Amino acid sequence: MRNLVNLLLRPIIAALVILTIADYPVHADPPLPIVAEQGMYIIEVYPQHHQMIVRVQGQIYKTYPIAVGNPSTPTPVGEYQIVYKGKDWAPSFGPRWLGLNVPWGNYGIHGTNRPDSIGQHLSHGCIRMRNRDVKELYELIPIGTIVKINGHVLGDSNHEPRDLAEDDVGGDVQLIQSRLKSAGYFKGICNGKFRSDTTAAIKQFQRDRGLAPNGIVTVKVYEQLGLLE
């Protein structure tokens, strides 16, 4: 009887093995390491003050001066995670790179060959550190660490939010997509990438609100979505 059961199970097990292998890319990258104490470290970034604070179990461990994005390519506001750590990408990135899981682009914390930029809004959106500081951070911070970048997703409170159109990317685009999705207009992924599906949703929203259906997010659209008073 045991031999009969083994004979019957053998093709089923073989099929499961084949399916498992077929579903896993031969050249796949190894999975990210599991973070044993996820949440022990938190990084807080304050772009307006060009400051990064590292907390360990809620207590301030160290504060670093940084450079952040210029007004046309701002550092993305929001809560992200360190998902990659690398060394020596290129001179402009300094000796270390800690990548963030921002869905609409490649952003990270890295060193620089422009130490004079520290304390200014001069990057293309990444967070720059002095090379000695980023080396220290690299050794301290595990993959999976939360990075909280503070500020308003619509930008400086003293200025109107930017007009948005197809091909724009950013946290403001993601916020618009989220509001449109909640209202039943947008069916895609809220990834901060303004593509044709977002344009179509904006146009339909504009028609229903009596606005010119041009697919451009203006102050009027922000107001109608409840994002501005």
Q: CA 148, CA 89: separation in Å to the nearest integer?
A: 24
Lowest average pLDDT, out of 37-46, 88-97, 163-172, goes to 37-46
190 is catalytic: no
Is the confidence at residue 229, as pLDDT, over 90? no
Percentage of residues of the chain with pLDDT beyond 70: 82
110 is catalytic: yes
Which pLDDT belongs to residue 89?
A: 85
**Which position has the higher pLDDT, 214 or 159?**
214
Is the confidence at residue 131, as pLDDT, over 80? yes
Catalytic-labelled residue, pool 49, 124, 126, 159: 126
Which pLDDT belongs to residue 38?
A: 55
Quickly state the pLDDT bin for 73 (edges 50, 70, 90): confident
Which pLDDT belongs to residue 12?
A: 38
Q: At a CB cut-off of 8 Å and minimum separation 6, what does 76 contact?
A: 102, 104, 105, 107, 125, 149, 170, 171
Q: How many CB atoms lie within 10 A of CB 44?
A: 16
Which pLDDT belongs to residue 152?
A: 86
Among left, alpha and beta (phi > 0; psi -120 to 50; other), residue 196 is: alpha
Per the prediction, the chain carries an average pLDDT of 84
Which pLDDT belongs to residue 29?
A: 33
Global pTM value: 0.76
Task: Please state the rounded mean pLDDT for residues 92-118.
Answer: 95
Is the confidence at residue 34, as pLDDT, over 50? no
Task: Please state the rounded mean pLDDT for residues 77-93.
Answer: 93
Is the confidence at residue 16, as pLDDT, over 90? no
Nearest-CA neighbor of 121 among 157, 87, 156? Answer: 156
Task: Please state the rounded mean pLDDT for residues 105-112.
Answer: 95
Phi, psi of 13 (to 5 degrees): -65, -40
**Strand partners for 60:** 55
Catalytic-labelled residue, pool 49, 50, 110, 190: 110
Q: How far is CA 13 from CA 6, 16, 24, in A?
A: 10, 5, 17
Task: Please state the rounded mean pLDDT for residues 155-164.
Answer: 81
